[in-house]
Amino acid sequence: MGQIEFQNVTKLYGETPAVRDLTLTVHEGEFVVLVGPSGCGKTTALRMVAGLEDISFGEILIGERVVNDLPPRQRDIAMVFQNYALYPHKSVYDNLAFGLRMRKVAKAEQRRRVEEIARVLGLEDLLARKPAQLSGGQRQRVAMGRAIVREPQAFLMDEPLSNLDAKLRVQMRAEIARIQQTLGVTTLYVTHDQVEAMTMGHRVAVMRGGVLQQVDAPQRLYHAPRNLFVA
């Protein structure tokens, strides 16, 4: 696993800044949550790490390597979106193994990794099922597993629980935090939900108008907010 580092990163759309001079490090094995209202720049920041948005100024490093000019497939990251994007005609096993097959990983190693991740995610009894036979929470775990099984340097999550109902969201918050702790994968997680941010992250980075307001542990953020907006 590797760390993610923003060094004075700015993103402009025309002359309008979406992210302004962002400096932030997600340390190896850390779970950092980017939180803020719609339009604050949190998803843009995540997409710049993924290589889905160009960087106007500054540098982004993944595992000590500057990735500004690298295409997404060469950045050694995995991403989970709001949409699970599972292959409906493939079994859970084949969905989990798909990325490994594309990389021509040996079949024995594919099986080892898929079975290991299935154990961690509680999917062992579901490997033969198709996505249509799964609950929303199970599909989310498959989407996470498909990303994790590649053993990337970093894991990016963009509002992954927003399509779930309230009860399932609560369950999945704890589940994602547990999985991240178990695997120790460096994770950058984006949400607009303050409860999600405060209950899941090792640290929370609060954004407003493209500017990082404060980054701190949840308790510190709560008891010592830097400004009125954070409070």
pLDDT tens digits, one per residue of 180-224: 888 888 999 999 999 999 999 999 999 999 999 999 999 999 999
Contact between 131 and 142 under an 8 Å Cβ cutoff? The reply is yes
**pLDDT on residue 36:** 95
Global pTM value: 0.87
Of 2-11, 39-48, 77-86, the one with minimum mean pLDDT is 77-86
Q: What does DSSP assign to residue 126?
A: G
Task: Look at residue 86 in the predicted model and tell me its pLDDT.
Answer: 87
- CATH homologous superfamily for the domain 1-76+152-231: P-loop containing nucleotide triphosphate hydrolases (3.40.50.300)
Q: Which residue has the higher pLDDT, 122 or 66?
A: 66
Minimal CA–CA distance to 67: which of 50, 79, 82? Answer: 50
Q: List the one residue out of 165, 229, 231, 161 whose CA is nearest residue 192.
A: 161
Hey, where are the domains in the chain?
Answer: 1-76+152-231, 87-151
How far, in Å, are 30, 184, 227 from residue 1 at the CA level?
Answer: 10, 8, 34
Cβ atoms of 62 and 55 within 8 Å: the answer is no
Q: Is 108 exposed, middle or buried (0-12, 13-18, 19+ CB in 10 A)?
A: exposed
- What mean pLDDT comes out for the span 11-23? 95
Share of residues in the chain with pLDDT > 70 (%): 98
pLDDT tens string 49-107: 999 999 999 999 999 899 999 999 899 898 887 666 789 999 999 999 998 888 888 99
